[in-house]
Amino acid sequence: MRPARPVAGHVARKRFGQHFLTDRAVLAAIAAAIDPRVGQTIVEIGPGLGALTAVLLERVPHLHAVEIDRDLAARLRGRWGPQRLSLHEADALRFDFAALTPQPAGALRLVGNLPYNISSPLLVHLLAFRERVDDQHFMLQKEVVDRIVAAPGSGDYGRLSVLMQACYEVQALFVVPPSAFEPPPKVASAVLRMMVRRERAGVDFAPLQRLLAAGFAQRRKMIRKTLLPWLAERGLRVGHLDPALRPEDLDVAAWIDLAARLEAAERAGASSGGPADPARQR
């Protein structure tokens, strides 16, 4: 196997999923989509060699960045002082993004070229900070973006689609080819815009996540054989859904409604010491 070619003197590390965006036109398009403004708290996840960082700092005087690679963190510190770049050397999967703003609601704007190997778990991790976030603009594997924005009934529609669309207004902006990166990945990428749904920013989505895990465990089977028995075991009988439907046939609103019913049934069961009365849940 041919050794990786250094990019600006740095060899991309596979364990961090590093593919550095180098296409200036794509960088400009991402910055235009983000449209950063003075006074906003902008946080770049995984700045890498600082290509997007530099473009953003042409528009705003300061931003935050979270970088796990020590060598890259040192390079970034040498390039920009703390008055321009507040660098947090940390794993984004464990980072407390709420610590970056004292405001309890809508202050952070998150951006980044996310490593493919952690993109889905990172998106789930960021759900905990929705009350502190205005929007998110991420470069992701195109396949992941397709799943996030997928419509009910399509092959791409699944757990990630429902969870992300329940929490954000999502929009696929444009596709980025492998040639825009060094080293080039084997797949196409896409830029995704995610606007926090303020009316649901404080909602606990743990019941929805449990529901989706059960509902999509056997996605090709009709819900009469999978989801409905699972709900019945938890004291929730649902008579308004066609039992011949499959999980991907239920839209986001239906999943949110089921999650609310499930949470109410679980609370009723906990307070009574047993499952909720199924007749009350119809």
Q: What is the pLDDT of residues 69-120, one digit of tens each?
A: 998 999 999 999 999 999 999 999 999 999 998 877 789 999 999 988 899 9
Q: Is the peptide bond before 102 cis (omega within 30 degrees of 0)?
A: no
Strands 63-67 and 85-89: parallel
Question: 206-281, what's its fold?
Answer: Helicase, Ruva Protein; domain 3 (1.10.8)
pLDDT digits (tens, 9 = 90+) for 150-184: 999 999 999 999 999 999 999 999 999 999 998 88
| Domain boundaries along the sequence of the chain | 14-200, 206-281
DSSP for residue 150: P
What is the pTM for the complete model shown? 0.87
Q: 144 vs 5, which has greater pLDDT?
A: 144
Query: Do 206-281 and 14-200 have the same topology in CATH?
Result: no
Q: Which residues partner with 171 through β-bridges?
A: 193
Strand-by-strand arrangement of the 41-45 sheet = 85-89, 63-67, 41-45, 108-113, 133-141, 189-196, 168-176
Task: Give Rg (Cα) of the chain.
Answer: 21
Asked if 127 and 81 touch (Cβ cutoff 8 Å), the reply is no
Strands of the chain, DSSP E: 20-21, 41-45, 63-67, 85-89, 108-113, 133-141, 168-176, 181-182, 189-196
DSSP for residue 185: P
Say whether pLDDT at 192 is over 70: yes
Select the CATH number that applies to the domain covering 14-200 from these four: 3.20.20.60, 3.30.200.20, 3.40.50.720, 3.40.50.150.
3.40.50.150
